[in-house]
A and B are shown apart, each in its own frame.
Chain A
Amino acid sequence: MTAVAEVMDYDEVLERFDPVLGLEVHVELNTNTKMFCGCANVFGGEPNTHVCPVCLGMPGALPAVNGKAVESAMRIGLALNCEIAEWCRFARKNYFYPDMPKNFQTSQYDEPIAFNGYLDVELDDGSIFRVDIERAHMEEDTGKSLHVGGATGRIHGADYSLLDYNRAGVPLIEIVTKPLVGTGARAPEVARAYVAALRDLLRGLDVSDVRMDQGSLRCDANVSLMAKDATEFGTRTETKNVNSLRSVERAVRYEMTRHAAVLVGGGKIKQETRHFDESTATTRAGRTKETAEDYRYFPEPDLVPIAPSREWVAELKAGLPQPPWVRRKRLQEEWGLSDAELRDLVNADALDLVAATVDAGAKSDDARSWWVSYLSQQAKTLNKELAELPITPAQVARVSALVADGSLTNKLARAVVDGVLAGEGEPDAVVEARGLKVVSDDSALTAAVDEALAAQPDVAEKIRSGKVAAAGAIVGAVMKATKGSADAKRVRELIIERCS
């Protein structure tokens, strides 16, 4: 076990140092097929079922570029205000690793398809931080290794490893920022806000599932510190395996405090790859390499250069959707939200879900209420992202409609939602199976009312004497007896009727 590293108090870090960030985000595209072959590009699946001679690196097999992936890469570049290369190429990045079928990764190197852009990121206080984008380039994903046995689940010390090449050749876009300076104390927040903004942008472009938990959006955070009087950047570390927005923020913060403690203690930061541990919110060093990796990049001779015409670029640019922040403003107006309400919606990651629910026919207030309160609580309980809940906006809209037409009470509606979340099927099927229809059969209700009145004769007497307000206690009893399936308004009417 590695010893827990010394860290410095965060405020003290900022008194002595300025942080410099660099963020590398890998995005798996949601194209139908892989980057260089016709295999299905889907998450999961039985191991080694979405493979062919090309993505298995069989002798003699050759790559052919997925045109849709190139288009997605260009749209991403344009949405990030990048220039699109008039001519670019793939290169081979050579290194040996068992889950990389060819033992080289086909990736763009010094000739990326998009470069020199920026993304304006809104911070919690509403201020804007401009993140400069160095480049966005195309590459292919590797397969996955599963290391079995050993203590750590890592290759070192494992008894054996299993290889799954389903992911090998999935199209990836790597988006690299320029060094971000001037963030000060807000470095962790900027990192989180940038990844969040990027995620929104990519979701709006419909180019990726952007699921951090499934690895379709992955962030590597480079962090270094500069002493207040320094003129050059400090040595950086690259933290990998940062699988949620919260982790991005925590990883940056942790590395800042760790670097500061090392530097102040007279030590040196090793330029290395570190892994973020979600459970402890700390980082640990990856396997250190004795020699610097030499990837021996050279232009991929099996592929021809890509030279997108300016007409194509202009066409893609014209077809870009509204940027998320513009769309947010529009929805805020349409739905009549305050700034605070909008922020709550955005912070809960519910904006797109609410919009989709509204598109499916729900009123915006109802849709908002479902996603921001009840469903957000369920997500928290299940330790899932809101969007990962097994319920669709269309299903939420259907439940909302059933409440609106009086078929369900709010309480029953929550039970229907629980049923959907539990995998019991569509809302109407849950209503049917669980018998959750509002009881509107007066004979059944009348019996329940009579029973409740008989059980509380003193209250019944008060009602009969004209103290109608006392009916509340009987309503409560009836609702309890009918397990909430009764329409409270009708119950009240029946009580008055029986007591008059």
Chain B
Amino acid sequence: MSELIRLSAADLADKIHKREVSAVEATQAHLDRIAEVDGAVHAFLHVNTEGALAAAAKVDEQIAVGEVASPLAGVPLALKDVMTTIDAPTTVGSKILENWLPPYDATVTERLRAAGIVILGKTNMDEFAMGSSTENSAYGPTHNPWDLERIPGGSGGGSSASLAAFEAPLAIGTDTGGSIRQPGAVTGTVGVKPTYGTVSRYGLVAFSSSLDQAGPCARTVLDAALLHEVIAGYDPMDSTSINQPVRPVVEAARQGATGDLKGVKVGVVREFRGEGYQQGVIDCFDAAVQQLRDLGAEVVEVSCPHFKYALGAYYLIAPSEASSNLARFDAMRYGLRVDNGALGELSAEQVMSLTREAGFGPEVKRRIILGTYALSAGYYDAYYGSAQKVRTLISRDFTSAFEQVDVLVAPTTPTTAFKIGERIDDPLAMYLNDLCTIPSNLAGNAALSVPSGLAAEDGLPAGLQVMAPALADERMYRVAAAYEVARDAAQGGPLINRVPELEAISR
């Protein structure tokens, strides 16, 4: 294994910018790694070998004449297959967009390219980002590098697994109910959902417009912060984009890494423990809270009484918006068209029905039906209307909590990674994965997950979730970076180094 692939993005960038290693060499090392292990992991749906090497060569040319596009120029990245790319198919994990080549780049894609970040390929995900395990991908599940029989989380399991498998030092995820943070937690990596509206959604194939938010995934807090500053910022193409300067998250991560949290008030969310929480996850969390105290933070308990309604509200709002967002897949302009060889005899409506029947998987259909029902005349007020009221109450819980503390902490997920197939027939059990992450999607505030150790009973990673107020993303970076240093000191090195060696199974 080339040592290049074990480096952090910051260290790799440093080597590339000092011309100790070329961007092409760094890219090739990761492409080799993908070729070696992705047969076992299946993090990628599409690897853009030529495009990646060409992009890397361009960065090398620029560096040769003294131009460095960004602090991450030349570093490879794995892009979730929900972001449009003009040079690679964008399937969203669905048969309905199999082989669809978008005519445009997402704003995030554009910003990555402008920063000289090398896009290795597109990562696997639950179909239309609906799921917590990648088992809903139409192209087969991704396997967790910590235990290949287990799920890597979802919907962004491909992105998180690529980090844990050292196939890429950076990845992009999108988080609608926890799809960045939960995969981060169960793969021992860092996943950040920035404040809603701070990273453009233009070119992010929509699941639930008012909840979707793209964010950085990495193996260290600083790497995530560096990537955060590349992709964040106002975009007039996204009306919900906030026209404010990007928060100084890199500076905050560096400050946090000095290991001093004196004067920081941390709130432990009282509601996030008890029945359904794995003991090892709770133990990791309690140990993490103690470390925050040791770093000088003041820790208090905070109650958010309406969080218990979050899951219910989420499963009305997200499917409602999805039912409308996914209506455009009608076989008319792009994507799959199913006509059973009888196009001339079928009406447009019949082709539409056949296509949607064949093109969408069961979880997507379940949510379209749920959302269509929730928006129907006579049910709207009881379902969608009530859910929006709950959303307001959850926002108020956050507001009053952040009047008392600077950040909130909780476990990211109630359990560690479960076995592939274990919950696939029990949607409600699957939905519980996102119990702790959903409130921040509903309220729109910032939240991240940082690894908090391995659960004693199964040796699998658990995650510490740090939540900050909207547009105060830097607070959670500072706390997470401080914790990361303390954790590594206490546990004798980075957690990610304890991921088992993967047997080579080529793609």
Which residues 40-76 of A sit at the B interface, judged by CB distance below 8 A? Answer: 53, 56-65
Kindly state whether residue A304 has any CB partner on chain B within 8 Å.
yes
Kindly state whether residue B220 has any CB partner on chain A within 8 Å.
no
Residue of B nearest to A102 (CB): B328
Segment touching A, from B153-161, B200-208, B224-232, B276-284: B200-208
Complex CA gap A323/B208 in Å reads: 46
Kindly state whether residue B210 has any CB partner on chain A within 8 Å.
yes
A304 adjacent to B330 (CB under 8 Å): no
Contacts of A62 in B (CB 8 A): 201-202, 237-239
Among A62, A102, A163, max chain B CB count under 10 A is at A62
B104 adjacent to A96 (CB under 8 Å): no
A61-B202, A62-B201, A302-B209 as given contacts; A98 in contact with B240, CB under 8 Å: no
Q: How far is the CB of A51 from chain B (nearest CB, A)?
A: 10
Kindly state whether residue B349 has any CB partner on chain A within 8 Å.
yes
Cβ proximity bits B316-347 to A, threshold 8 Å, 1 near / 0 not: 00001101100111101110000000001000
Kindly state whether residue A289 has any CB partner on chain B within 8 Å.
no
Contacts of B349 in A (CB 8 A): 96
Contacts of A301 in B (CB 8 A): 208-210, 240, 321
Kindly state whether residue B288 has any CB partner on chain A within 8 Å.
no
A296 adjacent to B372 (CB under 8 Å): yes
Majority SS at the chain A contact face:
loop
A63 adjacent to B239 (CB under 8 Å): yes
Residue in B203, B240, B323 whose beta carbon sits within 8 Å of that of A302 in the complex:
B240
B239 adjacent to A58 (CB under 8 Å): no
B97 adjacent to A298 (CB under 8 Å): no
How many A-B residue pairs have C-beta atoms within 8 angstroms? Tell me: 102
Q: How far is the CB of A470 from chain B (nearest CB, A)?
A: 79
B327 adjacent to A102 (CB under 8 Å): yes
Q: How far is the CB of A164 from chain B (nearest CB, A)?
A: 12
Contacts of B321 in A (CB 8 A): 298, 301
Kindly state whether residue A294 has any CB partner on chain B within 8 Å.
yes
Q: How far is the CB of B187 from chain A (nearest CB, A)?
A: 26
A304 adjacent to B240 (CB under 8 Å): yes
Complex CA gap A58/B204 in Å reads: 11
Residue in A59, A64, A163 whose beta carbon sits within 8 Å of that of B328 in the complex:
A59
Q: How far is the CB of B475 from chain A (nearest CB, A)?
A: 25
B380 adjacent to A59 (CB under 8 Å): no
B324 adjacent to A92 (CB under 8 Å): yes
Cβ proximity bits B294-332 to A, threshold 8 Å, 1 near / 0 not: 000000000000000000000000001101100111101
Contacts of A102 in B (CB 8 A): 327-328
Residue of A nearest to B210 (CB): A301
B320 adjacent to A298 (CB under 8 Å): yes
Kindly state whether residue B492 has any CB partner on chain A within 8 Å.
no
Q: How far is the CB of B362 from chain A (nearest CB, A)?
A: 21
B380 adjacent to A58 (CB under 8 Å): no
Kindly state whether residue B352 has any CB partner on chain A within 8 Å.
yes
Among A60, A94, A301, A302, max chain B CB count under 10 A is at A60
B239 adjacent to A101 (CB under 8 Å): no
Q: How far is the CB of A208 from chain B (nearest CB, A)?
A: 25
A298 adjacent to B324 (CB under 8 Å): yes
Kindly state whether residue B148 has any CB partner on chain A within 8 Å.
no
Residue of A nearest to B317 (CB): A301
Complex CA gap A297/B330 in Å reads: 20
Complex CA gap A164/B43 in Å reads: 40
A298-B384, A301-B209 as given contacts; A58 in contact with B330, CB under 8 Å: no
Contacts of A159 in B (CB 8 A): 344
Cβ proximity bits A153-173 to B, threshold 8 Å, 1 near / 0 not: 001000111010000000000
Kindly state whether residue B428 has any CB partner on chain A within 8 Å.
no
Kindly state whether residue B84 has any CB partner on chain A within 8 Å.
yes
Residue of B nearest to A92 (CB): B324
Contacts of B104 in A (CB 8 A): 53, 58, 61
A64 adjacent to B236 (CB under 8 Å): yes
Which residues 351-384 of B sit at the A interface, judged by CB distance below 8 A? Answer: 352, 372, 375-377, 380, 384
Kindly state whether residue A104 has any CB partner on chain B within 8 Å.
yes
A60 adjacent to B384 (CB under 8 Å): no
Contacts of A56 in B (CB 8 A): 333
A96 adjacent to B352 (CB under 8 Å): yes
Kindly state whether residue A364 has any CB partner on chain B within 8 Å.
no
Kindly state whether residue A262 has any CB partner on chain B within 8 Å.
no
Kindly state whether residue B248 has any CB partner on chain A within 8 Å.
no
Kindly state whether residue B90 has any CB partner on chain A within 8 Å.
yes
Kindly state whether residue B66 has any CB partner on chain A within 8 Å.
no
Contacts of B292 in A (CB 8 A): none
Kindly state whether residue A103 has any CB partner on chain B within 8 Å.
yes
Contacts of B210 in A (CB 8 A): 301
Residue in A53, A94, A101, A302 whose beta carbon sits within 8 Å of that of B375 in the complex:
A94
Complex CA gap A416/B201 in Å reads: 59
Contacts of A104 in B (CB 8 A): 324, 327
Complex CA gap A387/B104 in Å reads: 42
Q: How far is the CB of A173 from chain B (nearest CB, A)?
A: 20
A53-B104, A94-B327, A101-B328 as given contacts; A298 in contact with B239, CB under 8 Å: no
Which residues 135-160 of A sit at the B interface, judged by CB distance below 8 A? Answer: 155, 159-160
A53-B103, A301-B321 as given contacts; A65 in contact with B239, CB under 8 Å: yes
A60 adjacent to B84 (CB under 8 Å): yes
Kindly state whether residue A481 has any CB partner on chain B within 8 Å.
no
Complex CA gap A158/B424 in Å reads: 45
Kindly state whether residue B106 has any CB partner on chain A within 8 Å.
yes
Kindly state whether residue A303 has any CB partner on chain B within 8 Å.
yes
Contacts of B486 in A (CB 8 A): none
Cβ proximity bits A267-282 to B, threshold 8 Å, 1 near / 0 not: 0000000000000000
Complex CA gap A163/B331 in Å reads: 13
Residue of B nearest to A161 (CB): B348
Kindly state whether residue B92 has any CB partner on chain A within 8 Å.
yes
Contacts of B327 in A (CB 8 A): 94, 96, 102-104
Complex CA gap A379/B139 in Å reads: 64
Kindly state whether residue B71 has any CB partner on chain A within 8 Å.
no
Contacts of B330 in A (CB 8 A): 96, 98, 103
A60 adjacent to B206 (CB under 8 Å): yes
Complex CA gap A63/B332 in Å reads: 20
Contacts of A60 in B (CB 8 A): 83-84, 90, 102, 106, 202-206
Cβ proximity bits A78-113 to B, threshold 8 Å, 1 near / 0 not: 000000000000001010101001111000000000
A298 adjacent to B328 (CB under 8 Å): no
Complex CA gap A160/B348 in Å reads: 9
Q: How far is the CB of B380 from chain A (nearest CB, A)?
A: 7
Contacts of A57 in B (CB 8 A): 328, 333
Complex CA gap A53/B105 in Å reads: 10
Residue in A53, A94, A98, A160 whose beta carbon sits within 8 Å of that of B324 in the complex:
A94
Residue in A61, A94, A101, A160 whose beta carbon sits within 8 Å of that of B203 in the complex:
A61
A296 adjacent to B375 (CB under 8 Å): yes
Q: How far is the CB of B405 from chain A (nearest CB, A)?
A: 29
B239 adjacent to A64 (CB under 8 Å): yes
Contacts of B203 in A (CB 8 A): 60-61
Q: How far is the CB of B240 from chain A (nearest CB, A)?
A: 6
A64 adjacent to B237 (CB under 8 Å): yes
Across chains A and B, which 10 residue pairs bring their CB atoms closest together, nearest first? A103-B327, A296-B375, A301-B209, A301-B210, A60-B203, A59-B205, A57-B328, A60-B205, A60-B84, A98-B348
Given A57-B328, A62-B237, A94-B323, output 16 extra A-B contacts at Cβ < 8 Å. Answer: A53-B103, A58-B103, A59-B84, A59-B92, A59-B100, A60-B83, A60-B205, A96-B327, A98-B332, A102-B328, A104-B324, A296-B324, A296-B377, A298-B380, A301-B208, A304-B240
* 28 A/B residue pairs, CB under 8 Å, sorted by A: A53-B103, A56-B333, A58-B334, A59-B90, A60-B84, A60-B202, A60-B206, A61-B104, A62-B237, A62-B238, A64-B237, A64-B239, A94-B327, A94-B375, A96-B327, A96-B330, A96-B349, A98-B330, A98-B348, A101-B333, A104-B327, A155-B348, A159-B344, A296-B324, A298-B324, A301-B208, A301-B209, A304-B240
Interface residue ranges, B against A (CB under 8 Å): 83-84, 90, 92, 97, 100, 102-104, 106, 201-206, 208-210, 236-240, 320-321, 323-324, 327-330, 332-334, 344, 348-349, 352, 372, 375-377, 380, 384
